[in-house]
């Protein structure tokens, strides 16, 4: 889930699959790692703003995941987990799915960067190519 309408469509499909196969469903998002230079950290600390940038990211992520959660709740999926990780999106998704032996990854064909005429975004392309489990790419 990346906050795009495509990803939310993918959650609908994932919810339907989870219900039909009585599967566990994990709503997964990868946020950006917040890279602050020591100077910026020191400035934030002096201005007592430390923690605020992280808070902004968390709030945004929280809203994204709450929307996704609404979709799985409406679909009546009983076992839903929400996981947030920071890092490179494709690599983090693939590694998490492998580590937890997921049967299937469901994602949108495009995401937030839906601008040019590409059929797949870079994250869905990488995950579909490199994951060692089934990948469902939801279109439309
Ligand atoms: N940070 C992320 N965390 C979790 N899932 C993501 C993330 N980014 C993308 N995805 C998943 O991958 C799907 C395709 O998004 P992707 O980023 O590949 O397309 P894009 O944003 O249109 O292209 P690009 O990012 O290459 O500009 C999304 O619908 C979502 O399911
Ligand atoms: Mg993207």
Query: Minimal CA–CA distance to 18: which of 26, 7, 28?
Result: 26
- Cβ neighbours of residue 2 under 8 Å, at least 6 residues apart? 29, 30, 64, 89, 108, 111, 112, 123
DSSP letter string, 59-90: HHHHHHHHHHHHHHHHHT-S-EEEEEEES-HH
124 Cβ below 6 A of ligand 1: yes
Dist. CA 120–CA 81, nearest whole Å: 26
Each residue's pLDDT tens digit, 45-58:
777 666 655 555 67
Top mutation candidate among 121, 131, 140 for ligand 1, by most atoms within 8 Å of CB: 121
| Res. 106 pLDDT band, cuts 50 70 90 | very high
Ligand 1 atom 29: residue of nearest CA:
108
Separation of CA 121 and ligand 1 centre (Å):
6
Q: Rounded to whole angstroms, what are the CA distances from 128 to 46, 90, 138?
A: 45, 9, 12
Separation of CA 110 and ligand 2 centre (Å):
7
Beta-bridge mates of residue 28: 83
How many other C-beta atoms can be found within 10 angstroms of the C-beta atom of residue 80?
19
Each residue's pLDDT tens digit, 36-82:
788 887 877 777 666 655 555 678 899 999 999 999 999 999 999 99
| Token representation of residue 84 | 């947030």
Query: Minimal CA–CA distance to 29: which of 77, 109, 83?
Result: 83
111 Cβ below 6 A of ligand 1: yes
Q: Is the pLDDT of residue 137 over 70?
A: yes
């Amino acid at each position: 889930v990346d906050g795009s309408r495509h990803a939310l469509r993918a959650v609908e499909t994932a919810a339907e699959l989870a219900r039909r196969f009585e599967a566990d469903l994990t709503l997964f998002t990868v946020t950006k790692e917040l890279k602050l230079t020591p100077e910026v950290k020191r400035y934030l600390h002096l201005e007592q703003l430390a923690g605020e940038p992280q808070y902004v990211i968390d709030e945004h992520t929280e809203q994204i995941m709450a929307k996704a959660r609404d979709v799985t709740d409406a679909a009546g999926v009983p076992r839903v987990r929400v996981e947030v990780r920071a890092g490179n999106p494709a690599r983090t998704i693939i590694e998490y799915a492998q580590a937890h032996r997921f049967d299937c990854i469901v994602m949108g064909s495009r995401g937030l960067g839906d601008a040019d005429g590409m059929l797949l975004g870079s994250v869905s392309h990488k995950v579909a190519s490199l994951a060692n489990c089934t990948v469902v790419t939801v279109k439309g």
